[in-house]
Amino acid sequence: MKVVFHEDFCQVYTSDPAASPGRMESILGTIEPYVEFVPAEPALRQQVAGVHTDMHIQTVENQGLYEIATLAAGGAIQAARIGLSEPCFGLIRPPGHHASAASSWGFCYFNNMAVALETLRRQKKIESACVLDIDLHFGDGTESILGHRNWVTVVNVKGHSRRRYLQAVKAAMKNVRADLIGISAGFDNHAADWGGLLNTEDYEEIGYRVRLAADRNEGGCFGILEGGYNHDVLGGNVLALLQGMDRG
């Protein structure tokens, strides 16, 4: 399975948990034997401007984070494009699902998922899409940007128990109709992370359900990294999701 990555994502670009040292390395050390890496390339300014205001882009530039943020957005575009023909994962940071058109918070700067899907739509590679956000936190930025667009469905998974959470994923994927399914893959809902809910094998089940839905729709699927902060379990959780997506 292809994984889009760049060594610059190992940079500690801020002091927040998403940018912490060792986070990306904890994933790389686990998945490296099982994947084929594809070098990430930065998104073009006009691609970012497809979902963000000029003022917001300038704000990110003024923070000195434009280069790493556009690299993450570009990696998401690549993962989505590859995902049209085979499952793919974007091992990228900063995350993006708390970035709205004109603002951002929660360790995010540009909305990587929104940039990727809007870019593919404008290139006429897709007509419809679905976002499955499995992060512990509600993807308010993705909902704000994409929630009102009639060509995309945004699903923020809810469930106060493992069973109900996985049932919600299964139900969403059973009903989805889309050319491309993108997973906003936050792993902070793991039992050993902030959310304390899911087991590692649950991420494999989630990936598998997404792959089944993509195959049923004769479409594609991809994932991009959002949250997940316990380095001891993060790599195994990412690998489980990839294995599920690759089971088809």
Catalytic residues: 98
Q: Which residues, in sequence order, are CB contacts of 171 under 8 Å at separation 6+?
A: none
Distances from the Cα of 112 to the Cα of 128, 194, 209, angstroms: 17, 23, 22
Gyration radius of the chain over CA positions: 16
Go through 30-54 and write b for each residue having 16 or more CB atoms within 10 A of its CB, e for each that does not.
bbeeebeebebebbeeebbebbbee
The neighbour count for residue 239, using CB atoms within 10 Å, is 20
